[in-house]
Structure 1
Amino acid sequence: MNRRVARLRAVQTLYQLSLVASIEVEQAIENTLSNEEEPNEFYHALVYGTLEKRDEIDGYLSGHLKGYTIDRLGHVDRAIARMSLYEMLYIEDIEMNISLNEAIELAKAFGGQDAGRFMNGVLSNAYDGALKNKK
């Protein structure tokens, strides 16, 4: 599983977890993977890390959603934003621009061109705000 596929599967897993409150993480992972796919360390880091840091990430995102709350975002957009901001802030061996571009591509794939622009603005501003808070 390459990183692009891991990101896609992580978004699908986080989406599923946001819809079905009673599902366990491991079950959501099993439901997301195709028969031949094996989850890798990067995929697990995205899913478990995003869940672990969700409240902190939501705080950063909420401050940069103009006219929205985190709960008003669609489930897919919320999953992409959370996972991507987690990657940008906590996975050090990936350049921020790569993570941002991957998030934009995911948003466009699920929601179209406008979703990509929206994701770019939200994540860029939330990332900058998070860095200022950490100083």
Structure 2
Amino acid sequence: MSDDQTESQDPQRRPPRGPRAGLTSTGARKASAKSARSRAREFALQALYQHLVGGNDPDTIDRFTRDLSGFHKADSVHYDALLHGAIAQGPQLDALIEPLLDRKLSELSPIERAVMWIGAWEFQHAPDVPWRVVLNECIELAKEFGGTDGYKYVNGVLNGLAPRLRPDETGADRARTGA
């Protein structure tokens, strides 16, 4: 028997898995597979990062971000709402997030903090977006832009926040799934 025949007959040996369609090698969605709202969240995250790290003015950040490559594919209305809403309500969003942290707010990475702002803001102000979609989108942002395990932390905090901000929706969801 040749090596080729042995490999094809051995059920323990499988060919290596190829990448899933629409995903990068890290598991993040490819740009071509992203919705306009997902893109809006990405641009909002980048803009919020500029605000948190550089203290830049929201209007200056907005003008800069709109000139970035690919912005035309984003939902600009959702981007505007996220950017200006999160900055305007930053202290309130921090107050919602802080009790769920196991460290000081100042010790969070700016990416994690900005992602949590996006999630908390959407929980409060985007009722058309299901809470699980908000949570998943924020996890994806943290995976793509944050530190190695930052997405796990974001998941834990926002999963704890969702029942407080969307009690009817999360309660119905959890009752239906038995979670």
Q: With the length of structure 2 as denominator, give the TM-score of the two structures.
A: 0.66
* 1:131, distance to aligned residue in structure 2 (A): 5.2
The answer for the alignment partner of 1:94 in structure 2 is: 129
Shift of 1:32: 2.4
Structure with bigger gyration radius: 2
Q: Per-residue deviation at 1:70? A: 1.5
TM-align CA RMSD: 1.9
Contact 2:49 2:110 in 1 (8 A): yes
The AA in structure 2 aligned to 1:59 is: A
- 8 Å contact from structure 1 (residues 63, 126) kept in 2: no
- Output the amino acid matched with 2:78: F
Identity of aligned residues (%): 28
Unaligned runs of 5+ in 2: 1-34, 168-179
Matches within 5 A, 1:1-135: 2-21=36-55, 23-33=56-66, 34-35=68-69, 37-38=71-72, 40-66=76-102, 68-111=103-146, 114-130=149-165
Unaligned runs of 5+ in 1: none
Q: If each structure's helix is expressed as a fraction of its own residues, which one has the higher value?
A: 1
> What is the SS of the residue equivalent to 2:71?
coil
Matching residue's letter, 2:61? A
Partner Cα distance (1:35, 1:103) in 2: 22
Q: Which has the higher contact order (CA 8 A, sep 6+)?
A: 1
